Amino acid sequence: MLAKRIIPCLDIKDGRTVKGVNFVDLRDAGDPVELAEIYSKEGADELVFLDISATEQKRKTLADLVFRVAEKVNIPFTVGGGISSVEDVDVLLQNGADKVSVNSSAVKNPQLINDLVAKFGSQCIVVAIDAKQIDGEWIVHLVGGKVPTERKLFEWAKEVEERGAGEILFTSMDNDGTKDGFANKALAKLSTELNIPIIASGGAGNKQHFTDTFVEGKADAALAASVFHFKEIGIQELKTELKENGIPVRI
């Protein structure tokens, strides 16, 4: 069995790391370059950077930040936010990103996934899906969770896979920041129906939640933010507990 991955997530706004609850009420969580270096040394398997307020004008700022982080870490990291073209991805990869994450732009223009995969390869392309339950259906949302769409989570995830994406980063907006655990039923369904890795996001509050999402949610990786940023859970202690619980991890 492949090792399960632990991935700290740095949500970036105006060059700082921030964290909220249910995608709102953001508070400062520190300097992203410093945090990235710490996580790399502490044994994180990967990092994810999401520029949650990205606009076309900020592309250079994000590229500069990616370059500064790349100098400090020795683990793969994924960059997302405001990516809408092959050119955007090219800039980020040239500045040291290993993978890119697309979200709103892929929903608006699904062909973008095909184009990026054709240019850079599946292993490089992560599609992030933010969804929440409305009347019992998981509905995909855009623009940092502000705009509901007519897309349904499982149908969109299947299309994403068919278009060649290498991974899906699924964030449950209902669970985000609540620290009540991941959306394991939805994750298990995704993992069962799809053949590409699923990254669980939204809801981590304690070490048991990570075990639960790997066992019950069948997730391939688990992403979290505030529990790492505010030192509530240490990455090495988390991995030690996961290993004790029979979860394959890189120590």
- Backbone φ, ψ for residue 79 (5° rounding): -120, 135
Sequence-distant (≥ 6) Cβ neighbours of residue 172 within 8 angstroms: 131, 132, 182, 183, 186, 201, 202, 203
Cβ atoms < 10 Å from Cβ of 251: 9
Q: Is 130 annotated as catalytic?
A: yes
Among residues 11, 45, 88, 220, the one annotated as catalytic is 11
Listed residue (105, 117, 2, 118) closest to 51, CA to CA: 105
**Residue indicated by tokens 């969804």:** 131
In one letter, which amino acid is 171? T
Give the integer Cα–Cα distance in Å for 213 and 220: 9
Strand runs (DSSP E) across the chain, as ranges? 5-13, 16-21, 24-30, 47-51, 77-80, 99-102, 125-134, 137-142, 147-152, 167-172, 198-201, 221-224
Contact indicator for 151, 145 with CB cutoff of 8 Å: no
Q: Which one from 130, 176, 212, 220 is the annotated catalytic residue?
A: 130
Calculate the CA 251 to chain-centre distance: 21
Please confirm, yes or no, whether 11 is among the known catalytic residues.
yes
- Whether 175 contacts 182, CB under 8 Å: yes
Q: Which residues are catalytic?
A: 11, 130
